[in-house]
């Protein structure tokens, strides 16, 4: 833990990502940023609808499991709540991305129910939508389910200890 007024750039703090485990970061190259790519994704009309989100797939040039996230004012009129919904979608994707494969870009559209949903339910729904879209196949569904259960258990244990 850094001391007060201690900068992260000081070499006494190790801010490098952990060397063990799966890489879960989303770099700039792993995000959809251009509106043309969003339009192209919607035009291809490959979508799977869930209670908390809608998963859209884009196939084409340079598609490599990049992520785009959208929340409209239908989710909530306040920007901070829409940002919260986007953060939840990005984090869920980050947790399941190591188990996905394919030459697609993923666009997640948040729905109003995501604001009040349990974290484990969000992960579980993304897992189901990814399986329907055939982003997760082979032995990966079982490993991904274990990941979801691990997150669900930690959330439930935090509730019971409170």
- For residue 9, being part of any structural domain is answered with no
Please report the pLDDT score of residue 16 as a whole number: 47
pLDDT given for residue 17 in this prediction: 46
Of 63, 104, 64, 110, nearest in space to 83 by CA: 110
CATH at residue 47: 3.30.230.10
Residue 23 lies in a domain: no
Per the structure, the count of domains in the chain is 1
- What is the pairing mode between strands 53-59 and 104-110? antiparallel
Q: Which tens digit of pLDDT belongs to each residue from 90-135?
A: 999 999 998 998 899 999 999 999 999 999 999 999 999 999 999 9
What tokens appear for 85 in the block?
């919904």
Q: What confidence score (pLDDT) does residue 49 get? A: 97
What's the mean pLDDT in 71-87? 96
Is residue 14 situated within a structural domain?
no
Q: Specify the higher pLDDT residue, 5 or 109.
A: 109
pLDDT over threshold 70, residue 156: no
Give the bridge partners for 48, in sequence order. Answer: 55
> What pLDDT does residue 143 have?
82
pLDDT digits (tens, 9 = 90+) for 26-37: 888 889 999 999
Residue at 6 is within a domain: no
Q: What is the percent of the chain where pLDDT is above 90?
A: 57
Host domain of residue 114 = 31-161
82 within a domain of the structure (yes/no): yes
Residue 15 falls within a domain, yes or no?
A: no
- Whether residue 45 is contained in a domain is answered as yes
Asked whether residue 26 is assigned to any structural domain, the reply reads no
Q: What are the C-alpha distances in Å from 154 to residues 83, 97, 146, 147?
A: 24, 20, 12, 11
pTM: 0.78
């Amino acid at each position: 833990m850094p001391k007060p007024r201690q900068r992260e750039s000081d070499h006494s703090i190790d801010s490098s990502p952990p060397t063990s485990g799966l890489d879960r970061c989303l770099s700039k190259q792993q995000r959809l940023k251009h509106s043309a790519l969003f339009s192209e994704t919607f035009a291809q009309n490959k979508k799977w609808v869930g209670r908390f989100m809608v998963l859209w797939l884009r196939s084409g040039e340079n598609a490599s499991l990049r992520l785009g996230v959208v929340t409209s004012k239908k989710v909530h009129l306040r920007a901070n709540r829409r940002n919260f919904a986007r953060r939840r979608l990005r984090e869920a994707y980050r947790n399941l991305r190591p188990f996905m494969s394919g030459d697609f870009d993923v666009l997640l559209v948040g729905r109003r129910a995501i604001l009040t949903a349990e974290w484990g339910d969000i992960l579980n729904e993304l897992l189901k939508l990814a399986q329907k879209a055939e982003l997760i196949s082979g032995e990966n569904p079982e490993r991904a389910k274990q990941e979801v259960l691990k997150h669900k258990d930690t959330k439930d244990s935090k509730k019971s200890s409170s």
